[in-house]
Amino acid sequence: MTRLARKNRILFVEPGRHLRQITPDVRRNGPRALSRANVFSPLENLWVYQWPTYAPKTGRSPLDEITFTLRKQSLRNTLRRLNMADPILWVFQYNLGEMIGRLDERLVIYHAVDEYSAYASGYEDADRRSQTIRDMEANVIATSDMVFVTSPALYESKRHLHPSITLVENGVDYELFANPSPESSYPIDLLDIPHPLIGYVGVINEKLNLELLTTVARKQPQWHFVLVGPVALKNEKDQLELLKSLPNVHLAGRKPVDLLPRYIHAFDVCLIPYKRNEWTRNISPLKLYEYLAAGVPIVSTGIPATEEFADTVWLACDPDAFSQAISQALDADSPERRRKQQALAKNHTWDRRVEMLSTTIEAHLASDERL
């Protein structure tokens, strides 16, 4: 959206909060915990909209009908104040389509960046949850004018649902990750950790193969494993505690995006240690392109997104092969190899991706005008 804002006026609408999320604040602070919509502009032509907390989603009818009306009116008022008539409505998740047809939009885009139904794995009622998500997504797709997806697997699974579906994979802010600013310092929380540093950057959730990491870290005590990112596990918390208990494993926590290149460049090898399942079969990992841009050697489990880069990325799945791949990556590292990897990343920048998106949207709008 920051790149689209160079030639377009953008209102980025953050996800809203559910009633259960704001209830503790209201109990502590009373009605003053409820707020109006907040709108701010971090960049020229780009505004960020935060929903009013006085109108949360509740999941309860008819209360949700009332709060929906309030949410709709608040967003319409903001569009009117910003003079954004006939907007393009761009929806990024299956459960965010409630405003479709409510904003006098001239075009509706649905953009699938994951196989959302796979999020239900691990729940006791996983099949029911998955089917509910698929039904909700199918409804959003049916009411959209265009659909974008970020992986070939998503394209194959969704293309029968819509006549206008386009594959545009994720990308990278190349300059940010390839060339950290000269004043960037070595991360202070890594100073006391000896090399080699084997690093992962991303959310620690159910797609991560924690058992694989635990086994490899035990086998290779001379390597230090650093995981940078927030923990968002619903299951496998015991496995994470086991991993954290190892002396050569370090969790650095969530970091601002602009600091991530410092960590990646501090690593000797970068990891994409994902499980192989329906979730990761459909994924287009941002970290893949960020690692490529940094030039740091990459070791990944064999998922479709990384298999596409098999000439550059070391692929392995079982602990012994994964350990061997890391060892090979450490031995193969060189300035020349890093330059070649970075040259490959230049083909996957967000600038290129946004140009593809813009061209496709403009063509669709032009065809509508001819009709």
pLDDT tens, residue by residue, 215-265: 999 999 999 999 999 999 888 899 999 999 999 999 999 999 999 999 999
DSSP 244-256: HTSTTEEEEE---
Fold agreement (4-171+351-370, 174-348): yes
Question: Average pLDDT in the 285-307 region?
Answer: 97
Superfamily covering domain 174-348? Glycogen Phosphorylase B; (3.40.50.2000)
Bridge partners, residue 57, by sequence: 18
**For 52-80, what is each residue's pLDDT tens digit?**
999 888 887 788 899 999 999 999 999 99
Question: Average pLDDT in the 24-44 region?
Answer: 90
* pLDDT score of 182: 66
* pLDDT score of 30: 85
**Half-sphere exposure (CA, 13 Å, Cβ side) for 220?**
23
User: Burial level of 253, CB count in 10 A (0-12/13-18/19+)?
Assistant: exposed
Helix H or strand E encompassing 199: strand 197-201
DSSP 165-186: EEE----B-HHHHHS--TTPPP
Mean pLDDT, all residues of the chain: 94
Banded model confidence at residue 160, pLDDT cuts 50, 70, 90? very high
* pLDDT score of 83: 96
**What's the Cα-to-Cα distance from 122 to each of 106, 125, 337, rounded to whole Å?**
39, 8, 40
Banded model confidence at residue 183, pLDDT cuts 50, 70, 90? low
pTM of the model: 0.90
CB 97 within 8 A of CB 143: yes
Amino acid identity of residue 50, one-letter, is Q
Helix H or strand E encompassing 286: helix 286-294
Q: How far apart are CA 36 and CA 28, in angstroms?
A: 18
**What topology is assigned to 4-171+351-370 in CATH?**
Rossmann fold (3.40.50)
Long-range contacts of residues 134-143, Cβ cutoff 8 Å, at least 24 apart: 136/94, 136/95, 136/97, 137/94, 137/112, 139/97, 140/91, 140/94, 140/97, 140/100, 140/110, 141/110, 143/97, 143/100, 143/101, 143/108
Q: How far apart are CA 233 and CA 122, in angstroms?
A: 11
* pLDDT score of 121: 76
Q: How far apart are CA 368 and CA 371, in angstroms?
A: 5
Banded model confidence at residue 370, pLDDT cuts 50, 70, 90? low
DSSP 11-53: EEE----BHHHHHHHHHHHGGGG----EEEEEETTEEEEE--T
Question: Average pLDDT in the 157-170 region?
Answer: 95
Question: Average pLDDT in the 35-39 region?
Answer: 93
**Extents of the domains making up the chain:** 4-171+351-370, 174-348
* pLDDT score of 177: 95
Locate tokens 């008819």: which residue?
62
* pLDDT score of 209: 97
pLDDT at 311 over 60: yes
